[in-house]
Each structure stands twice: as structure tokens, then as C-alpha cells.
A and B are shown apart, each in its own frame.
Chain A
Amino acid sequence: MVKLSDYEPIVGPQVMEELKLLSKNLAGKKVIHVNSTSVGGGVAEILDRMVPLMNELGLETRWEVIKGGEAFYAVTKKIHNALHGAPQGLEESEYEIFLDVQEENLKAMRFDGDVIFIHDPQPVGLVKARKSLGNRWIWRCHVDVSSPHPGVWNFLKAYVEQYDKSVFSAPLFSQKLSIPQALICPSIDPLSEKNREMSGEEIDGIMSRLKIPLDKPLVTQVSRFDRLKDPVGVIRAFKQARKYREARLLLVGGTADDDPEGAQVLLETRQAAGNDPDVLILSLPPTSHLEINAIQRVSTVILQKSLKEGFGLTITEALWKGKPVIAGAVGGIPLQIAHKYSGILTHSVEGTAYWLKQLLQDPSYATKLGENGREHVRQNFLLTRHIRDYLLLFLSLDYPGQSAVAL
């Protein structure tokens, strides 16, 4: 099992020392995390790693998962899509299914913690237990709610406002709420398969297995084949930039078998690539963490030409590997990239082409951007910072309305 001390060589002894000092103020507090799945998805991934580390820091932390049948998860999928802006709302019967499952879980679960930390909309209604228990409740929204379906959001909002605090991942997602809204960005785990250091030999092995030649600078975009990731725009930008400097483009994304729109976008992407031998399109299974890690490490420039984005953890991953990143100035991306300091922000195909050309021709500037990006991630977007923010969040519950707290 990973231990706190494993992070010390990465973030430095001072960060670890201060995490321990901070956590002393919360020693013995009981925290219960609740979400809807124990495997798969970013929330489970982060809790899986974070819960043991929180316990090591002296907070009695446990993680519980709500139970719901197929009908419930069909409803929550609809809620998820509606929060992402899908026009379709929910039927009255669907709200009933949602609420019934909340009641069933309220009966089955114990909320005997000092802090009850509810993740995402699926268990939001459990807050009903708060009144009789008198403990503190936090609702953490991991979803992009920048333009939610109003009906669905208002339904959830009535529950959200019963919490002590809410947490969102980017300023863009903030809402008009009667309770405080903390901004806590997601994080990456530098020790996970996606991000751990790799040996040259290991990387070479993967490159030869995936048949990715490295005789030219590699320009990569890692993302699913989705119009919002603009893969066709990436190809157009690459073709413009390549007039000045030889390079190869690699678009790598998940398999699109179960996603009809994804399959269509993949087809359009292949059409845009044509027979160009310097445009590679690669579909990998969603478990290819080490392969993506290796690809990011051999890339010269990483693109993320998103037209809409949540936080954009693939960018965090690329920055962590010290790569110069050119990304669309949308969603949480500007939090990660200060334009011309820790990466490049663009708004168009032309802008992307221009900066790609610049970075391919000026490797020392590209290197500097990459170095700054890596440091920015080290200080702001690693798991240890996420833990620190959660500790501060728990502490803040004892000082409502205060802007300065002396511990």
C-alpha cells in the first residue's frame, strides 16, 4: 500500500511536515465519504488512494457506497447528462425512483461521523439525516455544471442548500447558492500508473509494441473521439504548422465501440487525416494507463484543443511530465496554464497552428514552458494538495464566516 512517505521525494519534506501539522488539529475526527461506486471513474480512483492516507494522518476515515438498482443508475445517468447541459429533463416517476433510493440508503447507512462527505449527485438526498444528527455535511460536485439543465439543477439545489458547504472543481462551475462554495481542483496521483516515472527501456518497449515511430518530433493529443475535443481541428492545425517543421501527429483515444457518436467522430477524424503517413490515429482500451504515460513522455508537444472542458486532467498529466502544452482556453484549463508562462492557451485552429510552429522551432522556449508547467502541477495539482485542501475544508467547518483562522 502507498504511504505518505512515498510522496516526500516528490513534493518535498516541507509539504509533508505541514500536512502532518495541519492534520493534528483534526486528530480523531471521524470522516465518512459517500459516493455511488467503489470501482471505475475518477472519484473512486481518488478515494481509493486518499482514504488510507487520511487515516495515516490521524483522521478516522471510511468510505461507503450507496446501493441502487439499474433503474436508479439509469436515472442518475440522465441527471449526469442534464448537468452537462443535455436538454432532456426527468419525468416525475424518475424523480421518485431517485428519492426512493435515497430513503432506502438512509435506512441502511450509519452517518456516525463528524463530517459526512457526499460526492456527486447520486447520494445528494442523504443530507436529510443531517438535521437529527447535528454533524457537518459537505457536498462535493465533481461534474461540470457550468450550464446545467435548469429543472434538474433546481431539484438538486434544494438538497445542496441543506449542506454546510459545497465544493466545486473550477470557478466556471460555481452556482448561485445560499451556502459557501469552496474551490478545490482535482488532482493527479504522481505514483499511479498514469503518472509514475518510467524507464527508457519500458517506454521503448511500449512504443515498439504500439508501432509509434520516433524519428520525427511527436505532437500528441490524448482524448476520446468527441467533437468537443476537436480532433479534426487538431489535424488542420497540425497540417498548417508542419509546413515549417517536420513532425508527426498522434491522436490517441479510447475505443468507441459503445458510443455511436464517438464512432462517427473517429470516422470524420480518419477522413480528415486522409492518407497522410504522418498522422497516426490510435484507439486504446480505457485501461491503457501505462501506454498513455509512455506516449506523453515521448511527445515533443502535447495538444488539448478542447472546445469545452471540465477540469482537463489529461493536461495536468502532460504538464506533470514536463511537456509544453497547447490547449484551448476553456473550462478548467486556464487554472492550469498561465498563457506563455506554463503553457499556451489558444482559441482557434490558426492560433494552435501558430503556437505549434513556434514551439517546434524553439525547443528551448518549449522546454521552459514544460518546466514551469511541471512545477505548477507539483505545487497545485498533486494528490497531496488535494488532501491539504480537504483538511482545510474540514477545519473551516468549525469557523463559519471567518476569513482568517489562527490554529
Chain B
Amino acid sequence: MPLNRVQEPFVFKSQMSLVEMTGRRAGDLAEFGLHLKEVPEASVYYHTHHFLQQHQFLVPEPPNDFAYWVASVLQEEELGERLAAIDTVQFHTLGELRGAITAAIDRHLEKQKTLRKAPPGEEFYFMKCILFTFPTTYVAYDLKEFLGCLERVSVGCLYNHIFEARLRPPLGMNDFSYWLRKSLDEEDLAKRIESLDPYTHTMDGLRKGIIRLIARRLGEESGG
């Protein structure tokens, strides 16, 4: 299938966030569960996603602040493991994600007789963020240009189009796959990118994975 070139380009947009404190903190699991039900969604988003951006060079673990705090600070390893295993990629709204996390905590609390206290100073502080999105200078009219941009855009930009995009309509879809499908008619490529679980890669690993898929597609077209 020949490569398409479109009139309306894909504009790479980046994102940055300003962290704010909610003033809420938890010293044990009961307090933690209670606050988690009440904090704004921006707080759930922050604690399930910021690790990816702040520790983008690490093996993709630990996946979220909740799992990390429960396992490392409270030493509740079983629950920590369960929270780490909550498949963020399956949830298209933060409300659903919050529901899954609080349900796991509630189940654990039901069978727990005593509560472990976090050592002083290691309480869980609930934060939230204000997310700023802005267009970059990178635009692509075809797949080749798209690949060129992808090699150069920032981690914040990747993050915006892959993670943040999934929480915007059309829900659950990254911007790259959406554009490739709708504008370039690259259904197969769109599907392949969709099937990458972004939460199991470092940001750089993810970038390389997508680049590999696009390069292969371009190679097919040029007969390589």
C-alpha cells in the first residue's frame, strides 16, 4: 500500500506539569484508603503517572506511587504487589482506576487486624498537578516526517500523545495510532503501536519501539 501525504499535519504537542500539594497525608492504610477516595482525580493521575516521567530512565518499575509506598514504606508486600499489578492500561478513566485501587485496599483492610504505621516523615503526601499542554515546532505531513519528528521530540511530548491521550476522547487510544489510522490510513501500523503496553517500557524504550515499527513499514514501502 503506498504511503499517503495529508493536508492537515500531525502537530506534536508537549506537556509539563506543576505539582501542587493537597494538604492531605496518610500514616497508615486506613487513612490512605480514605483520602484516596476523596482526593481530586488530578491527584490519582499524578500518583499513577508521574513516576513514568520522573524516572523515565529506569526499568519500568515501580509503576505507581501507591504501590511503592505500600510495599516499601508500610512493608505490606502482598498489597503492594496487587496495587502494582493493577493494569493501568485497561482503565480509560481515572475514576475507574481509582475504583480499582480503593477496592484492593478495602479488601486488604477487611482481613487486616492491625495496621502498620509509616515511620515519621515517611507518611504518604497526596499531591496533584496542573497539566500544561502546548504545541511544539514539530509537524508531520507523512510517515517519513512523522518518524523524523519522533526521533527528536521530548519525553514530555511522547508522554502527552501516548499516556495523556488515552484519557481524552477517543478514550483508550494514543494520538499516534489515531492519526495514523484516520489520516494516513495506516491501520496495521496503528494497531501495532496500540498493542504496545506503554506502561511496561521506559519512555526511551517506548520511543525506540514505535520508531522500529514505523521504520519497518517505511522499509516495506521502499522494498527494503
Q: How many residues of B contact A (CB 8 A)?
A: 40
User: Are B121 and A403 in contact (CB-based, < 8 A)?
Assistant: no
Binds A, one of B15-23, B77-85, B209-217: B15-23
- Measured between C-beta atoms, what is the minimum distance from A329 to chain B in Å? 6
Which residue of chain A has its CB nearest to the CB of B24? A174
Complex contact B18–A168 (CB within 8 A): no
Q: Does A177 contact B (CB under 8 A)?
A: yes
Q: Are A21 and B134 in contact (CB under 8 A)?
A: yes
B152 at interface, CB cutoff 8 A: yes
**Beta-carbon contact of A403 and B130 below 8 Å:** yes
User: With A181-B23, A334-B122, A393-B18 given, is the CB distance from A405 to B57 under 8 Å?
Assistant: no
* Interface residue from A171, A338, A405 paired with B55 (Cβ < 8 Å): A338
| A389 touching B18 in the complex, CB below 8 Å, given contacts A338-B68, A375-B57 | yes
Within the complex, what minimum Cβ distance (angstroms) separates A96 from chain B? 32
| B55 in contact with A341 (CB, 8 Å) | yes
Residues of B within 8 Å of A372, CB to CB, are 55, 57-58
- Residue A172 at the chain B interface, CB threshold 8 Å: yes
Given known pairs A21-B136, A403-B131, the reply for A341 and B58 (CB within 8 Å) is yes
Q: How far is the CA of A330 from the CA of B120 in the complex (A)?
A: 8
| A183 cross-chain contacts in B, Cβ below 8 A | 19-21, 127
Residue numbers in B under 8 Å from A175 (CB-CB)? 23
Within 8 A of B (CB), among A134-155: 146
Q: How large is the interface on A (under 10, 10 to 19, 20 to 34, 35 or more residues)?
A: 35 or more
Q: What's the minimum C-beta distance from A157 to chain B, rounded to whole angstroms?
A: 13
A-B residue pair count with CB separations less than 8 angstroms: 110
Q: How far is the CB of A31 from chain B (nearest CB, A)?
A: 16
Q: Which residues of A contact B17 (CB under 8 A)?
A: 392
Note all chain B residues with C-beta closer than 8 A to A403. Answer: 40-42, 128-131
> Residue A330 contacts which of B25, B121, B134 (CB distance < 8 angstroms)?
B121
A395 within 8 A of B: yes
Q: Does chain B have a CB within 8 A of A17?
A: yes
Q: Which residues of A are found within 8 Å of B128, using beta-carbon distances?
A: 403
- Given known A22-B16, A372-B58, A392-B18, contact A331–B121 (CB-CB < 8 A): yes
Is A399 a contact of B152 with CB atoms below 8 Å? no
Tell me which of A18, A168, A330, A380 contacts B21 (CB under 8 A). A168
Q: Is B93 among interface residues, defined by CB-CB distance under 8 A?
A: no
CB contacts (< 8 Å) of B68 on chain A: these are 338
Interfacial chain B residues near A406, Cβ < 8 Å: 133-134
Are A181 and B18 within 8 A (Cβ)? no
The digit string for A363-389, where 1 denotes a CB below 8 A from any CB of B, is 000000000100110011000000011
